[in-house]
Structures are given as structure tokens and as C-alpha cells.
Amino acid sequence: MHLYVTSGLSAEVVAAVDVNTTANEVYKHNFPDVYLWPKTIEGITANEFNSLDFDMILMSPPCQPFTRIGLQGDISDKRTQSFLHILDVLPRLNKLPKYILLENVKGFESSCARNALVETLKRCSYRYQEFLLSPTCLGIPNSRLRYFLIAKAEPEVFIFKTTDQIIEGFVNHQQYLKVNSKCPSKEGEPPTVSDDKSSEPGRQSHEGKSFLFKMETTEHLARKQSQDSDVLLRYAMLMDIVTPVCRRSGCFTKGYGHYVEGTGSVLQSSPDVEMAAVFKSLDSLSDEEKVRRLLKLRLRYFTPREIANLHGFPAHFCFPQKTTLKQRYRLLGNSLNVRLVGRLIQLMVE
């Protein structure tokens, strides 16, 4: 299989490795011809790695040990074992891969795991550069700040001047360049916050009475409709509300669709209603009047397809029919921006 359309490069994926059953089902559904290893990385020996004869490693180790709201267990967290195994195996490979790309959450840059990675790269004679990037730097209206590292085996060199500092933006050949988040990317005009024109199975009409629309069963919808007033009153001031023409949206997490606060933006489906007018003097109204006014916004969740669009997934990407809505949101919340990674791959191999 050949990938990296967004990077302008062609490459064959010789193996994909993941232990998550649902993620593997989705991957196999979209890439049926790729060799997929449904096992832990720490269970792969150096000889098995050597048999793949690969030139590039793209990896996204578990982020839980490094999240700012987590326990920050770092390398003492058992979930880092797969990453540490890669660092242990890398120097012992018969042929070092030419390129390495790693993605993780902001916070990884100050971890012991990061220090171990850098030491291993230096020991194996790699040149590397670290980044903190969000899709907004490509003009994509979604905030998703992540740590990235790209590495290149010597004697190869990058086409830009590397630095020990973490770069917060993309670079051109002569200087570090902060890309204006309001500018479109080179691939063309980025998607608006909501550009999904297709209908998804079970997606509710905007004419319904429920204020958050998802791919729900009839039972789920009936139960949620009875809770809408309480939800609106409780979370109205905490929601990150955006419109279809907004140039930004919040970071979508794996809890999206289940939790309201801090898991991603919700979409205002009534473009003719001014949000400021709805919230003006809201506290002075009775609960019934508050609900009546808030319902004018016709708020709904983003669909999984719309989130995939913001992540840069191609139009042909799809989920197996049996993948539940919760599973789709969880997988997308743990995903990354394809166009951002494509740009980094391009920068890495040029």
C-alpha cells in the first residue's frame, strides 16, 4: 500500500502495530492489504524488526503517562514499556531506519522518556528537531497542540537549520517561520468547522427537539430529550460553541459525546441567531426562559465524519458499520492530524 498523499511522497507500509482491537478493525477496514500486527510492541524481537527491512518509523506512544491532567507517571508508568522497548531495540538493528517521527501530547517534551529518546538518537548518530504544533498553523480551524520529533540518520541533513529549542511553527529553508493560523495551507483552502454534507446513519434532523444531535437510537434520543433542559442549564456557560464559519474549534478528546466540558466544541446550527444576544442577561431569567432562549442556538455535537475532516482524513476513510458512536469518538479523540503529519514527513525526508 502506498501512503502519504498529503506529504507528496509515496511509501509502502510494511507493517502496522497496535494492540487496540477496535483501532485494528478500523485500520484493516481502510487498509486491508497492510500487514497488521495485533500485538504489543514490547513483544516484537529485534530479529522480527530486522525482517521488515524498514526505512522509517512513525510512532505515537501512549500519552497517558505525560498528560498534564494525569498522574504524569512518565517512565514509571507501565504504558511506556512499548516506547522504551523501541529505544532498546533501535541500536541493535542490523540497519538503522533513515527516518523517525514521533508524536505525543504537550508535556512529553519535559519528560524522562523524551530525554531517553534524545540520548538514544544521539548515540545512534541521528540529527533531530522537536516541535510543538497545532493544525491551526496550517490554517485548519482546530486546536490540537501536540509534541512532534523528526529524526534523520547521519550523514543525511535537514534542509533547514536545526536548533536545540522546540520550534512552534513550520520552517522554511532559511529561517523559522510562524505560520499565521488564519492563512490557508498550500494544499488549498482548509475545511470550515463543519463541512460535512453527507448524512450519517441515525443522524438526527436539525428540526428535532433535542439540542445535541448524534447518531442515536430512538431510545437514546427519547431519554436525552428528557434531560436537555437540565444539561443546557448546567453546561451552557461551559460549552465551547462555534458556528459553521468559525476559523477555530476546540481539541476533540476521547470523551467527546459523553462529557460536555473540555472535550471539544459544539456546533451552533442556527446561523441567523446571534450568540451574544442569547447569553445577554441570561442569569436574570427564569430557568424556563433560559432554556427557551438557549434552544434557539440549536446546538449539536460534531459528527465523527466532521471531526475526521478536521483531522485531515481523506474522504474515502470510513468506519466499519459495527463501530459504535462511542468507539468512533474515542478513536478520533486519540488520533492526530493527518495533514500536519504529512507536512512533517515532507520536511523530514527532503
Confidence of residue 18 (pLDDT cuts 50, 70, 90): very high
Q: Tell me how far apart the alpha carbons of residues 150 and 16 are, in angstroms, rounded to a whole number.
A: 19
Q: Residue 17 region, left (φ>0) first, then alpha (ψ -120 to 50), else beta?
A: beta
Contact 53, 15 (CB under 8 A): no
**Statement: residue 217 has pLDDT above 70:** no
Q: Tell me how far apart the alpha carbons of residues 155 and 287 are, in angstroms, rounded to a whole number.
A: 68
Q: Helix, strand, or coil here: 147?
A: strand
Where in the sequence numbering do the catalytic residues fall? 63
**Statement: residue 172 has pLDDT above 70:** no
pTM flag (> 0.95): no
Confidence of residue 193 (pLDDT cuts 50, 70, 90): low
**Statement: residue 30 has pLDDT above 90:** yes
Average pLDDT of every residue of the chain: 82
Render pLDDT for 125-137 as a digit per residue (tens, 0 to 9): 999 999 999 999 9
Contact 141, 310 (CB under 8 A): yes
- What pLDDT does residue 144 have? 94
Residue with cell 424556563: 288
148 φ/ψ angles, rounded to the nearest 5 degrees: -135, 150
- What pLDDT does residue 221 have? 44
Q: Tell me how far apart the alpha carbons of residues 350 and 347 are, in angstroms, rounded to a whole number.
A: 6
Render pLDDT for 223-257 as a digit per residue (tens, 0 to 9): 445 545 666 667 777 889 999 888 899 999 999 98
Confidence of residue 63 (pLDDT cuts 50, 70, 90): confident
The cell for 203 is 443522524
Task: For residue 8, give the H/E element and its range.
Answer: none
**Statement: residue 6 has pLDDT above 90:** no
